[in-house]
Amino acid sequence: VIVTAGAQQALALVARAIATARIGAGDATYNGALDAFRSAGIAVACSGDIDYVIAGVSNPHGIEIADRGALLASGRPIIVDEAYAELRFDGHLGRPLLADAPGRVWHVGTISKTISPGLRLGWLIPPTAHHDAVLELKHAADLHASSVSQAAFARLLELTCYDAVIDRARSGYADRAAICADAVARHVPGMRFAEPEGGMSMWLESDDRGDDIELLATALTYGVVFDPGSLFRPEPCEQIAMRVSFSSAPLHELDEGARRLGRALAHWRQDRRAA
Amino acid sequence: VIVTAGAQQALALVARAIATARIGAGDATYNGALDAFRSAGIAVACSGDIDYVIAGVSNPHGIEIADRGALLASGRPIIVDEAYAELRFDGHLGRPLLADAPGRVWHVGTISKTISPGLRLGWLIPPTAHHDAVLELKHAADLHASSVSQAAFARLLELTCYDAVIDRARSGYADRAAICADAVARHVPGMRFAEPEGGMSMWLESDDRGDDIELLATALTYGVVFDPGSLFRPEPCEQIAMRVSFSSAPLHELDEGARRLGRALAHWRQDRRAA
């Protein structure tokens, strides 16, 4: 296990260690992973020589989309990001892909989504054959993960019950997810989404096509914000989609936010019809 | 100012941002910088298209070796690492090269040598034209520097007198440097060195040639250790040199360490004559 500055650094190290491949990341994926891969000069597309999956709960989808059987059958290396795995609302922790394909799984974890992003602590378990090379890359990148952060986290594990912290996070996010999904269903017409299974966001897809940055500008005038779908796309896509997050807004604002999003979308659609 | 995970990450980011150059680093330099540059695929040699200098006190030399006038006159970009600048025993803080050549200086600083390496806090001031690109590289590498570390350091600055901490470190290291230099002069024949001007190590050079790893193995059998000079060389060099550190050994062990080093060196020289 190589301790890293969050899952982000783990992904950046993987990207540098596998420097020649094209990574397949599905229809949409964590934008920071796209940055890490592209920053290392690696192409990312919907499919590739190596798969990148966010196991348990995919970001931005808010649901499990990884097909375990297909991934194992493919024989390709797999980058498995478990950033949200502990935040499934049903508490189900799937068998790690690492357990079944240790020779080709790059296993990535983090405490950023459960404990604290500010500690910058994550981990990477590369296939054994790559371990020494990755350790050298880590050393050249920043010598070592913060020992102060590691000591603080170790202390926190002594002083608190980790399972209780996770349970509380899960149930808190589950409540927010239910309210957010309900609000979007009522106030934002023409958006498809799956009821979130975990995490802190949901992924809305529409049949609209166009520039989602333009839509975002309209939304801002209505006092609401979303993450434009284009940020998450491995390949350019005209379909309007977005990630909406329910992680920290006060509960009563989730409903109001959805109302405003609905109005902004109506306004934007009207402008486009007029144009 | 871009806050980084120590000076090491600052150097790694510089290396990635300037990706095409050959870096000139003099006869010997910080081995972590060599790692950072080479890990980004950049050649390092004694001289190059871009200079890397450790201003104020060079590591491993323990003295100032940067020629300010020549660097400014060269017109080349300069990577200026101030890791030890505050640890000059005379307390003299030279005018930063950044002040005179902001368009071509990559300024690197850190609290690792003065406050705590475990917090992983440093900084990079790139030339303005490179700022946005470097910020993107930093973001892709690990999102951001630990906010917990930054808060802890801010708190420490509130609660302690930073200047007094530095003064204490300076005078403590100055005492150690004097004892170490005296011990080496008495017990390790055939080694040239400059009286350290700051920092926590000194650089010994001899007229011996050979494999310093072999010498290190001999030293270990005598119960003493040094950093082999070859680690610090931008270009291969047969001359036996070494960095000896006086940062943390109990004072009375510095003299004993030098005695053992002298004996190990005599043993190694005898073996080589016999061979």
Contact of A145 with chain B, judged by CB distance below 8 Å, is answered with: yes
Taking a contact as any Cβ pair under 8 Å apart, which residues of chain A between 112 and 141 contact chain B? 116-120, 136-137, 139-141
Which residue among A142, A145, A148 sits closest to B152, beta carbon to beta carbon? A148
Which residue among B4, B140, B151 sits closest to A35, beta carbon to beta carbon? B140
Contact B95, B72 (CB under 8 A): no
Kindly state the tokens that stand for B46: 């004694």
Helix (H, G, I), strand (E, B) or coil at A21: coil
Interval A125-176: pLDDT, tens: 999 999 999 999 999 999 999 999 999 999 999 999 999 999 999 999 999 9
Q: Give the pLDDT of residue B275.
A: 80
Contact of A156 with chain B, judged by CB distance below 8 Å, is answered with: no
Positive or negative: CA dihedral A94, A100, A101, A107: positive
Contact B22, B46 (CB under 8 A): no
Taking a contact as any Cβ pair under 8 Å apart, which residues of chain B between 12 and 71 contact chain A? 12, 32, 35-36, 38-39
Which residue among A35, A140, A152 sits closest to B12, beta carbon to beta carbon? A140
Q: In whole angstroms, give the CA distance from residue A212 to residue B80.
A: 43
Interval A230-241: pLDDT, tens: 999 999 999 999
**Mind telling me how many Å the CA of A186 is from chain B's nearest CA?**
35
Three-state SS string over chain B comes to CEEECHHHHHHHHHHHHCCCCCEECCCCCCHHHHHHHHHCCCCEECCCCEEEEECCCCCCCCCCCCCHHHHHHHCCCEEEECCCHHHECCCCCCCCHHHHCCCCEEEEEECCCCCCHHHCCEEEECCHHHHHHHHHHHHHHHCCCCHHHHHHHHHHHHHCCHHHHHHHHHHHHHHHHHHHHHHHHHHCCCCECCCCCECCEEEEEEEEECCHHHHHHHHHHCCCCCEEHHHHCCCCCCEEEEEEECCCCCHHHHHHHHHHHHHHHHHHHHHHHHC
Angle (CA) A66 A201 A15, round 5°: 50
Q: Which residue in chain A has the smallest CA separation from B32?
A: A140
Q: In whole angstroms, give the CA distance from residue B18 to residue B21.
A: 6
Kindly state the tokens that stand for B22: 């050959």
Look at phi and psi of residue B113 and say left if phi exceeds 0, alpha if psi is from -120 to 50, else beta: alpha
Kindly state the tokens that stand for B62: 């323990």
Full pLDDT tens readout for chain B, 275 residues: 999 999 999 999 999 999 778 999 999 999 999 999 999 999 999 999 999 999 999 999 999 999 999 999 999 999 999 999 999 999 999 999 999 999 999 999 999 999 999 999 999 999 999 999 999 999 999 999 999 999 999 999 999 999 999 999 999 999 999 999 999 999 999 999 999 999 999 999 999 999 999 999 999 999 999 999 999 999 999 999 999 999 998 999 999 999 999 999 999 999 999 98
Interval A15-25: pLDDT, tens: 999 977 899 99
Which residue among A143, A148, A152 sits closest to B8, beta carbon to beta carbon? A143
- A9 with B148: Cβ contact below 8 A: no
**Mind telling me how many Å the CA of A264 is from chain B's nearest CA?**
31
Say how far residue A32 (Cα) sits from the centre of its chain. 8
Separation in Å, CA B79 to CA B46, B109, B153: 14, 11, 25
